[in-house]
A and B are shown apart, each in its own frame.
Chain A
Amino acid sequence: MKKRFFFAGIALCLLLVVLWGFYWYQKPRTSLASVKASYHISAVDLYKAFAANEQAANRKYLGKIIEVQGQIDDIKKTDTTFSILLSSGNDIGGVNCSLTETLQKILPQKGQMVNIKGKCIGFIMDVNLSDAVINP
């Protein structure tokens, strides 16, 4: 009798491990909408940090969720996403945010001031944020 409980217990544990593994394996890339930002910074200051010292800025911001405030310089629509370029105050670069359209509540406009939360993925000409959402 005791033995049976023992094996049932082991089987249950195994089942839980398998389910847990399956859950993590299947877990979709989550939206950042409910994730708290690690940093709040203006687009101008974020760009300056990367332009001045990319390595140091990467150490601080890379992979982090950042909420950036800035003015919309340009909007580009693609098939499933749109990209917003926040002005850094100079012509060379800005903050390039890639947004998933279905997650957006408000449609932005050029020249508008917005708060955009996204994951910092690095720097090429602009600071790049992916999986971004506009914060109201």
Chain B
Amino acid sequence: MKNFLLLFLFTLALQKSHAQMYLTRNGYIGFFSKTPLENVIAENRQVYAVIDPDKKNLAFVSLMKGFLFAKELMQEHFNENYIESDKYPKASFTGNFTGDVDVKTEGVYPVQVNGQLTLHGITKPIQVPATIEVHQGKITGKSDFKLTPADFDIKIPSIVREKIASQMDVHVLVECNPK
């Protein structure tokens, strides 16, 4: 059902006859874990996002294996032990935003994003503040928020718990072009 919805959204995005949709296949999601012992950064620059400013809908999909770490071993542990990317290869978000965005007037519009986030096979509602910037015909969505891995049943073994924060800072930046 979820996949069907995403496929539907992306297919809509690619039909020229439909109302204007904005799409990127190179969006950015990064997460940061800060502890006194170690800072961990993982970044994914192959995030797919669709924004429909008329209906105020948006959808994101990313591959877990697309999150890249500076250290090879960390990336391996992330994929094999924590996020189990062979079992749960994708993370996705579908939702909508509140607040008015006028695609004909350039500017930065603050919005509130509500929707369902699926991560590690678990779907949870999230609500985060974001901004939508209209600039040169493009729509850029930006949001910073915190996520708790434990909420998505992501288990961090006690041996590394000191090195991994219980909350992650998540940055999202998607520059979408009209499609």
Contact = CB atoms under 8 A, between A and B. Distances in A.
Nearest to B48: A124
A116 to B, nearest CB: 14
Query: Which applies to chain B's interface (DSSP): helix, strand, loop or mixed?
Result: strand
A27 B25 contact: no
A63 B80 CA distance: 12
A19 to B, nearest CB: 15
A96 B75 contact: no
Given A124-B61, A124-B63, A124-B90, A29 B10 contact: no
B70 interface: yes
Contact of A83 (B14, B26, B86, B90): B26
Counting contact residues on chain B (CB < 8 A from A), the size range is 20 to 34
Contacts of A121: 46, 63, 65-66
B86 to A, nearest CB: 8
A78 B68 contact: no
Interface residues of A, number: 27
B91 to A, nearest CB: 11
B46 A30 contact: no
Interface string B1-42: 000000000100010000000000110100000000000000
A88 interface: no
B71 interface: yes
A96 B68 contact: no
Nearest to B61: A124
B29 to A, nearest CB: 12
B48 A130 contact: no
A27 B46 contact: no
B73 A96 contact: no
A128 interface: yes
Given A124-B48, A125-B25, A27 B72 contact: yes
A133 B173 CA distance: 24
Contacts of A92: 14
Which of B14, B26, B63, B69 is packed against the most chain A CB atoms within 10 Å?
A: B26
A115 B25 CA distance: 21
Interface in A76-127: 76, 78, 81, 83, 85, 91-92, 96, 98, 121-122, 124-126
A136 interface: no
Given A92-B14, A124-B90, A24 B73 contact: yes
A63 B65 contact: yes
18 contacts: A27-B71, A28-B70, A29-B72, A78-B26, A78-B28, A81-B45, A83-B25, A96-B25, A98-B26, A98-B46, A121-B63, A121-B66, A125-B48, A126-B25, A128-B46, A128-B63, A130-B46, A130-B68
